[in-house]
Structure 1
Amino acid sequence: MDRSAGLLQRFEEHRPRLRAVAYRMLGSLSEAEDAVQEAWLRLDRTDASTVENLGGWLTTVVGRVCLNLLRARETRREDPLELRMPDPVVSPADGVDPEQEALLADSVGLALLVVLETLGPAERLAFVLHDMFAVPFEEIAALLERSPAATRQLASRARRRVQGQAPVPDPDLAQQRRVVDAFFAAARDGEFEALVSVLDPDVVLRSDAGTGISVLLNGARTVAGQAVLYAKLAPFVRPALINGAAGVVVIGEDRRWSIMAFTVTDGRIVAINVLTDPERLAALDLSAVGD
């Protein structure tokens, strides 16, 4: 086996972890793949015999690439409050394939990724690398060109925000599905109070239609007020797993797609995240849940 083939084989052993790091950092499947590919290109130009810990080295490279992408994204964003929905990982309702399992390890639900989108680049890097992948603060500090103590503070600040704003879904997937099914049944039948009953009083609905068009609704009765819309969608709903949690893919009569991700906690829906951006939906592989 020549050097290049052997090096590629070693790199492929680390690819699942690198994709997971990049996806949590960027919330974009395509950008995550680009970041991992960039890590390979840099490794191929490096004398690997000088790298003592290849996995750690590659994680650091991916972290640096992602940090640069996040900083570039910040400068392009005209409105700091602009809602950007992370790319969902869509699977059939009956299970997630092994490659997706690696990507979604540690219950990286869409609600968590939405909160990560609100963090600054440095905070996000510190939290993701340390709290999710156990990278030492000393290594992260070198990436950020800050002291380990300052890096620790960044991660702590991000951790508080995540714990306060990212709801943890119920572990029982069947129970999640029953709640989501009850939501659409109530909408279909025009049962407003039944719809309210499956929603947490402080439920949040976020919708991203692309090109800066977004909607944010708070409160059970406000969200239930969209019941007419949900009723129209109900006949076109196809059950799916969205980032490993109960959700749906909606295929309208005009073949336009939308994705609805639900976070169910203590038997009630606490968050609904909706992606209707046609450009981003077209880039996702939704063949497993319908055509």
Structure 2
Amino acid sequence: MDALAVERFEASRVRLASLAYRLLGSAADAEDVVQDAFLRWQAADRDRIKVPEAWLTKIVTNLCLDRLRSAQARHEHTAGASLPEPLLDGDPMLGPADTAEQRESVSLAMLLLMQRLSPHERAVYVLREAFSYDHAEIAGILDITESASQQHLHRARRRVTTGRRRDAVTDADARRIVEAFLDAAASGQTERLVALLTEDATAVSDGAGLTGKPLLYPTPERIAAAARAFIKPIESKRRLIGGRPALHTGLVNGSPALIAVIDNRVVGVLALETHKGKVAFACAVASPKRLGRLTATWSKQEHDAPIVESW
């Protein structure tokens, strides 16, 4: 392949990866899809491709659809079947964040909700909300009619709308929110923790990858109980993760997060999505296979002092 062809593909790589991540909820799967797209670009008759960006977008979208259909056939993509892979802010795979819709489309809660959608609904929703394609363009990408694209978007919006948007937060906000949550959880006083949650707050955990499916916590009281257990340091947990982590704060998928780190390796993340100052959704991830990319990004960034030196 000539250098110009490689350069054209590389110019689109970040955008393609952020599209695939939103569709699949997995950075590792998104990277695989983008590499498959590169191989197809390499083998294509590129002289006949008038708009490389459009061609590559169609290839990546349809490769993602194939994966979503395959997972659906194996009953792996029912709502809550798997947790999204968290990404540290600053990771280019998070993609465009200029509009509220773009930022919302990559929240962990939204990525989880999108598992409720059919593959076509998910593709239309992401292409429209996160990348601002019009229905004529989406119809061309998915080989459907404009009317079908509009119908898919209508159904998708109805199925994932929660009636609220998460708060926009800074690094300073994240530290304050996480410290308050950690203090309340460590106090052992359920009412202090419940007071930080919205009335309809929910939470999920991957059980450190030890359970067959995510653990769901559907009420503030259940969340409070789980958070107290999650925060409490015991030797069995330390053995599982390989030591005594430092606890940092940061932004993960745009939300405040408690980040547990041992020797520059992230061993656990608790992301807290807030609405009007209260926690509306929490997502705990500790499975090493879901933290590899986040660890790689973490190791390249500067960080504030931990809020807990040794947990």
Alignment length (residue pairs): 281
Partner of 1:208: 206
Shift of 1:283: 6.2
Shift of 1:223: 1.4
1:233–1:18 CA distance, 2 compared to 1 (3 A): farther
User: 1:1-291 to 2 correspondence within 5 Å?
Assistant: 4-77=2-75, 80-91=78-89, 96=90, 99=92, 102=95, 106-107=102-103, 108-164=106-162, 167-173=164-170, 174-209=172-207, 210=209, 212-233=212-233, 236=245, 237-251=247-261, 257-282=267-292, 284-285=294-295, 287-288=298-299
Shift of 1:103: 6.4
Shift of 1:225: 2.4
Shift of 1:145: 4.5
Counterpart residue type for residue 196 of structure 1: V
Secondary structure of residue in 2 paired with 1:226? helix
Secondary structure of residue in 2 paired with 1:159? helix
- For each residue in 1:180-236, what CA deviation from the matched residue of structure 2 results, as whole angstroms up to 9, or x when unmatched? 210111111223222111111111011123452321112222211235314415985
- For each residue in 1:235-277, what CA deviation from the matched residue of structure 2 results, as whole angstroms up to 9, or x when unmatched? 853213211321022358xx99222111011000000011233
Structure 1 distance, partners of 2:192, 2:226, is 13
Structure 2 distance, partners of 1:122, 1:115, is 15
Counterpart residue type for residue 228 of structure 1: R
Aligned partners of 1:186 and 1:195 also within 8 Å? yes
Secondary structure of residue in 2 paired with 1:225? helix
Secondary structure of residue in 2 paired with 1:238? strand
Which stretch of structure 1 is more off in the superposition, 281-290 or 40-49?
A: 281-290
Secondary structure of residue in 2 paired with 1:259? strand
Aligned partners of 2:125 and 2:157 also within 8 Å? yes
1:180–1:158 CA distance, 2 compared to 1 (3 A): same
Secondary structure of residue in 2 paired with 1:239? strand
Gaps of 5+ in 1: none
Counterpart residue type for residue 130 of structure 1: R
Q: Indicate the RMSD between aligned Cα atoms, in angstroms.
A: 2.8
Shift of 1:142: 4.7
Q: TM-score, normalised by structure 2?
A: 0.80
Structure 1 distance, partners of 2:270, 2:198, is 17
Secondary structure of residue in 1 paired with 2:168? coil
Shift of 1:20: 1.0
Shift of 1:82: 4.8
Which stretch of structure 1 is more off in the superposition, 10-19 or 100-109?
A: 100-109
Aligned partners of 1:206 and 1:217 also within 8 Å? yes
Aligned partners of 2:258 and 2:270 also within 8 Å? yes
Identity across aligned pairs (percent)? 33
Shift of 1:282: 5.0
- For each residue in 1:121-173, what CA deviation from the matched residue of structure 2 results, as whole angstroms up to 9, or x when unmatched? 111011111222123333433554433212210111112223227x5221132
